[in-house]
Chain A
Amino acid sequence: MRLLERSTEVGVLRAALGHARGGDGSGVAITGDSGVGKSSLVDAAVAETSAAGLEVRVLHAHCDPLDTPRPLGPFRDLELLGAADDPRREDESRAEMCERVYDAVRTEPTLLIVEDLHWVDAATVDVLRFLARRVESMPLLLVLTYRDREISPRHSARPLLGDLASLDGFTQLALAPLSVDAVREVVSGTHLDASRVHALTGGNPFFVAEVAKEPDRPLPATVRDAVLAHTADVTDHDFDVLQLIAAAPDRLDNRVLPHLGVDLPTLRRLQDTALLTRTDDGLVFRHELARQAIESTIPPGGGPRLHARLLDALETIDPADPAVLTHHAVAARDSARATSYACRAAEDASAAGSHSEAAAFFEIALEHLESRDPEERARLLLELAYQQYMTSRLPEAISNVRATFRLWEEAKRHDGLADAHAAVALFEYYNAHRERAEHHSDAAARIALDAATPSTFGAARATQGFLAYLRNDLVRARELAAEAREVAERSDLGVVGLRSEVVSTVSDLVSGDEAARATLLTQVETARDRGWDELASTVYSQVASLDVEHGRFRDAERLLQVSIPFAIQRDIPICRHWQTGVRARVQFQRGRWEAALEDAATVIDDNGMPLATLWPRLVSVLVPLRRGEEAELGLLDDAWSLAEQIDEPLRRLSVLAALAEAAWMTGRTDHRVSEYAVTQLAVLGACPGAEWGAGQVGAWLRRLGLPVPPLSLVAEPYRLADEGRVADAAQAWQLLGDPFAEAMAWTDSVIPEDRVTGIRLLDSIGAVGTADRHRVVLRQEGGVVVPQRPRESTRANPAGLTNRQLEVARLVARGLSNSEIATQLFISPKTADHHVSAILTKLAVPNRRAVVVNSAQLGLT
């Protein structure tokens, strides 16, 4: 059928293709209901490339309507990537796939079409996001088709659509149904009544075409009847084959035809129905709606029989995709095979870094597990729990591990029981329940010792050591780490050995040995080299976190610039959440309020692991408080509850400092500050590594007029302030890059003029709420001219820059041109130019040279 009423859309695609050939890539989403003509529009665009003789390579991939999609399925089907026949590539991770697709599309003008995104798998979404973020600098037109109504806010494709929407060159083509006039054109020459056909089909082009194909029949009652009308002359045997093909939602592989007894004459007869299409690797329905119409004719109870035939046939070809086999085994109600294929599919998915699909397959395996062997069930539950942990589904992970305890005991497998305790210990910790975490890690070590399983014992000791380090019990942490290391060396357990080394090195860093930082970074490299991604990411998390805690803000920033992309690329959402939370904190310390709020919202909105939400909650309250805006103070109570559950000195101190600041700003009494902090500060501050946190709480108590218990050790800038050396303290903060603390140091002075200096500084970084609070006090005291609240921020500062703008601003500060920035950030020079203009406005500087000259003052170094 000729494409009707789509000339605008074809024009958009034509233009985008032209730009892509010139290296200015973009994305187009084609959306609309099933049958509205998304694929026809894509086909028209493809036809146009060949008709116009454009040298554009066309890559066409599809997502399939399987219950649980095949990880990276659309990309594995692309012949260009050579993945289909290469068994070595079956367990390729998404990071490798990203690189391979990137290499394939960046050199040659390419039209990459991914159809039916509403059925996409999470790994494919990540590869597409990777491409989308670079598309502007490549000769690529990325076309996606999907039924927008089927993409809910929680759909795995949502983040991708969000990324695309932020692209300059992104276009969404929402296809409307045909008008009555267009329908009239289709049915012209027949005696069909265009208005009635329009009313029956709702203008859906597929349905209109179906009706128009059989103009001599009376108008069908439904569109399903329109499809089935084509099968009126088909024999029972041939109809049975049609139903068989309809039961294979991805496609019926050509190679199974011999096994299913479908001969060539049958295929030729079925061609006359015009319902099927032959592709390179199988038979598919020309349209999903046609498949559904035929599928709807399968009698009750007939489905399992068809799926069983397909399953038998698929088992004869090699390699068969375990995800597809699982789909048919489930539909055939063949529990044994469903469990076995689902396990294989889950392992493939996990190896490919598709942890959400892996979890879905383990769930299927468990649901169909018939075996009464407790050990088998326990193993599956533990595997499922691990995948749920990786995807930040901690409560489910914990309850699944708990369910294994009884099973391991029943099976008399103490090693399994110890493994389960060790796993749940970690999950409970990230779920912010330290007490439970310690209970389980102790149990794991005890059981492993009794059962004489050294690998589990070593791992459990390392976990115990890690938990001890986190509560600042460094002596115990080092002892446990040494014990773990000894076991690891005896039994040649590389990963446990490295884990234990990390625990003792990070303990050294906490206690002030700054050389330990370099050692930790070497340990990260070792872990990365050996593929221990989770350990590498954990070390990054700890170092970045301690950097912020101890005022090494610039080091933290540089580290996070490497570690966050690593966690994203290796698909470890749990570490990504943690590190984004840490970045929220460092942006906050550096007075970059917008960027801090952006990171905090990401972690909270993503339902990041509870432990990771502590800093985001504090930042979400303190930024608006400081800016003089309305703040959601309840978030502080949540943070306090979290700190109680985690029960670690550093986290308690952080929350106490925030509570104290809020009490000072609002004038409200908070017993957690006036009682708990006053009595506990000396104890909490005596922990190694707590001199910064304790110094901060002490400073706020002093501002509140509360007694400050004697502290054994406070960090340098706090010590200077305590000694009344206001200017030195302010300068120390300036050197560290914390403008808010710098301003507050001035306001702590007894000299009114110093305090005015502090107020002006606070105003200049946008902390006008805090400045106002000082104005009130200063006016009450009298004797000095208090500066008026400024109408808007007058001094150049990065408070209003988003994370992306900060990234661009840093490159401007290094003297890079727009095109150099574009290359580095995978954006088009035009987009880079937009960013730079916005940055100059927000920083209130006249030109980019001013950014370079004042980069230190602007907080960009």
Chain B
Amino acid sequence: MQRFIIEREIPNAKDLTQDQLAEIARTSNAAVESLGVPYVWIVSYVAGDRIYCIHDAVDEESILEHARRGGFPADRVTPVVAEFGPHTANV
């Protein structure tokens, strides 16, 4: 599987309540489950007018299909080519 970062533009995303986020999560889980292909939602971050999601999927088409089924925008889908952090300095 390949890791992707998905940017979703949602006006006033920062104002979404916990209940609304829970509802979105339920919809997203149902969409993941219905795909019938390997797919993992890792985590999402809400920031300003955007939501940034990290998903593992076989291809970009699956990412877009997940968004269609969830009724979410997927304004930018970018494959992750590397992951690093403070520990990388020690390599």
Which residues of A are at the interface with B, using a C-beta cutoff of 8 A? 254-255, 257-259, 261-267, 317
Contact = CB atoms under 8 A, between A and B. Distances in A.
Nearest to A263: B36
A622 B85 CA distance: 94
B37 A264 contact: yes
Contact of A263 (B30, B37, B61): B37
Nearest to A265: B36
B70 A255 contact: yes
Contact of A262 (B33, B34, B61): B34
B68 interface: yes
Interface of B: 30-31, 33-37, 61-62, 65, 68-71
Contacts of B33: 258
A254 B27 CA distance: 13
Contact of A255 (B37, B62, B71): B71
A257, A258, A259, A317: most-surrounded residue (chain B CB, <10 A): A258
B37 A258 contact: no
A255 B35 CA distance: 12
B74 to A, nearest CB: 11
B35 A264 contact: yes
Contacts of A264: 35-37, 61-62, 65
A263 B38 CA distance: 12
Contacts of B71: 254-255, 317
A267 B30 CA distance: 17
> Which of A257, A264, A267 neighbours the largest number of chain B CB atoms within 10 Å of its CB?
A264
A82 to B, nearest CB: 11
Contacts of A266: 36
Nearest to A280: B68
Contacts of A317: 71
A589 B24 CA distance: 67
A448 to B, nearest CB: 46
B68 A263 contact: no
A264 B36 CA distance: 6
A753 to B, nearest CB: 82
Contacts of A265: 36-37
A87 to B, nearest CB: 14
A266 B30 CA distance: 17
A265 B61 CA distance: 11
A263 B39 CA distance: 12
6 smallest beta-carbon distances between A and B, as pairs: A263-B36, A258-B34, A254-B68, A258-B30, A255-B71, A264-B35
B20 to A, nearest CB: 12
A756 B89 CA distance: 115
A264 to B, nearest CB: 5
Nearest to A255: B71
Of listed A263, A267, A317, residue having the most chain B CB within 10 A: A263
Nearest to A256: B69
A278 to B, nearest CB: 8
Contacts of A258: 30-31, 33-34, 69
A267 B34 CA distance: 12
B34 A261 contact: yes
B16 to A, nearest CB: 15
B34 A257 contact: yes
A263 B34 contact: yes
Contacts of A259: 30, 34
A230 B68 CA distance: 26
A256 B73 CA distance: 16
A265 B62 CA distance: 10
Given A262-B34, A317-B71, 13 more contacts: A254-B68, A257-B34, A257-B68, A258-B30, A258-B31, A258-B33, A258-B34, A259-B34, A264-B35, A264-B62, A264-B65, A265-B36, A267-B65
A258 B33 CA distance: 8
Nearest to B36: A263
A261 B71 CA distance: 16
A582 to B, nearest CB: 49
A205 B6 CA distance: 41
B34 A254 contact: no
9 contacts: A254-B69, A254-B71, A255-B70, A258-B33, A259-B34, A263-B34, A264-B35, A264-B65, A265-B37
B36 A257 contact: no
Contacts of A255: 68-71
Contacts of A263: 34-37
Nearest to A266: B36
A123 B8 CA distance: 34
B83 to A, nearest CB: 26
A656 to B, nearest CB: 67
B71 to A, nearest CB: 5
Nearest to A316: B30
A386 to B, nearest CB: 36
A264 B31 CA distance: 11
Contacts of B35: 263-264
Contacts of B37: 263-265
A65 B69 CA distance: 24
Nearest to A283: B68
A21 to B, nearest CB: 29
A13 to B, nearest CB: 32
A387 to B, nearest CB: 33
